[in-house]
Amino acid sequence: MTRILTVFGTRPEAIKLAPLVTALQAEPSVQHTTCVTAQHREMLDQVLATFKITPEIDLNVMKPNQALADVTSAVLSGVCDAVERVKPDWLIVQGDTTTAFAGALAAFYNKVRVAHVEAGLRTGNLYSPWPEEANRRLVSQLTTIHFAPTRAAADNLLREGTDPSSICVTGNTVVDALQWVDHRLSADADFSRQSHEPFKVIDRSKKLILVTGHRRENFDGGLARVCQALARIAERPDVEVVYPLHLNPNVRAAALSTLGNRPNVHLMEPLHYAPFVALMRMSHFILTDSGGIQEEAPSLGKPVLVTRETTERPEAIAAGNAKLIGTSIAEIVAGATDLLDDPGVYSRMSRVANPFGDGKASQRIIERLLR
């Protein structure tokens, strides 16, 4: 039996690893253990419930107003204990979170091989996104197998001198997750009805703009400008804005102070993954600083305006599905206006073509781990 310990803690990690965890649990030659750090407690639990995953180890590290150093040390200590208990042959981490970095470091301290899912993403700017760019670079130094989602990500690793034999291009597991939920929404009437339940208040005759925002790099004024731009856009009578709010107090304060009393702006609590996919399907376009949404939206043909100065997912920009607009009020309003009023712009950005994968990434990862 190959012993595999998978460690994750945030909502995006859980979504992207859920298809892999489910497949590993069903693999007869694998003894699999799931360890969650609960870096995002409530939002993590929503994803676990959607995919029916029950972690064997729950570190529950988060406390109010923790500094990054506190989170890092708590995850490092907790995962070290988990490694000593499970004695895995492989430890899997995903992406660029503090959980991913500290989990990989815990594996290194215990001389356990690290498999990095979604390896090789780079912006070239150590402080953008912060701290994610540093986390992903540090994880790469501790990794035995790099599961790159795209050829471009693999090329980033090669330029840094990574052994080519340690790189495996798989596609992104988020496409696996999205396809699973998208299929259920189409095939299961009860599942679809429950997933659409939160959106009865939305006027479906109008164009729906879906908004998300949570990046630390935007806490110092960026989120406030995004909300001011949304207030201007919401003056139009033909739009509805839906903004599921991250639980971080910085995000909620910026949104509530600027958008809290507008009848066509719906500020919602964080959504389970299936309702969120349903909301993406309903949307006209998406305004976001999320990396995962940049990867998901092309499969649904939804244009994405990215409220960041840099992106480690240039494939969506190159394919024309996404546009990098930063947090300038004028740029956000202009980008939204183009998608609302110019059919040519909308048509070019809404083609269904996903450069990030075909839904078979988890299968490729398992085949390489067990080779």
Per-residue pLDDT of 115-129, as tens digits, reads 999 999 999 999 988
- Asked whether the whole model's pTM tops 0.85, one would answer yes
| Nearest residue to 362 via CA among 11, 17, 8 | 17
- Bridge partners for 151 per DSSP: none
Q: What is the DSSP string of 165-212?
A: GGEEE---HHHHHHHHHHHHHHH-HHHHHHHHGGGTTS-TTSEEEEE-
For the chain, the structural domain boundaries read: 2-172+358-369, 189-349
Per the annotation, the verdict on 96 as an active-site residue is: yes
Per the annotation, the verdict on 358 as an active-site residue is: no
Catalytic residue among 246, 272, 284, 313: 246
| Nearest residue to 71 via CA among 82, 83, 59, 84 | 59
pLDDT of 174: 96
Cα–Cα–Cα angle for 365, 18, 197, rounded to 5 degrees: 145
Sign of torsion, CA 283 288 292 294? positive
CB atoms within 10 A of CB 368: 13
- Encode pLDDT of 10-46 as tens digits: 999 999 999 999 999 999 999 999 999 998 788 899 8
Which numeric CATH code is attached to 189-349? Answer: 3.40.50.2000
Catalytic residue among 13, 32, 132, 225: 132
CA atoms within 13 A on the CB side of 371: 11
Hey, do 2-172+358-369 and 189-349 end up sharing a CATH topology, with the first three levels equal? Answer: yes
Catalytic residue among 40, 214, 215, 308: 214
Q: Name, in order, each residue with C-beta under 8 angstroms of 264's C-beta and a sequence gap of 6 or more.
A: 203, 206, 234, 239, 240, 241
Per the annotation, the verdict on 196 as an active-site residue is: no
Per the annotation, the verdict on 214 as an active-site residue is: yes
Confidence at 219, pLDDT banded by 50, 70, 90? confident
Asked if 143 and 166 touch (Cβ cutoff 8 Å), the reply is yes
Identify the architecture of domain 2-172+358-369 in CATH: 3-Layer(aba) Sandwich (3.40)
CA atoms within 13 A on the CB side of 296: 26
Catalytic residue among 13, 32, 118, 295: 118
pLDDT of 43: 83
Per the annotation, the verdict on 246 as an active-site residue is: yes
pLDDT at 343 over 90: yes
Per the annotation, the verdict on 216 as an active-site residue is: yes
pLDDT of 15: 95
Catalytic residue among 216, 232, 236, 364: 216
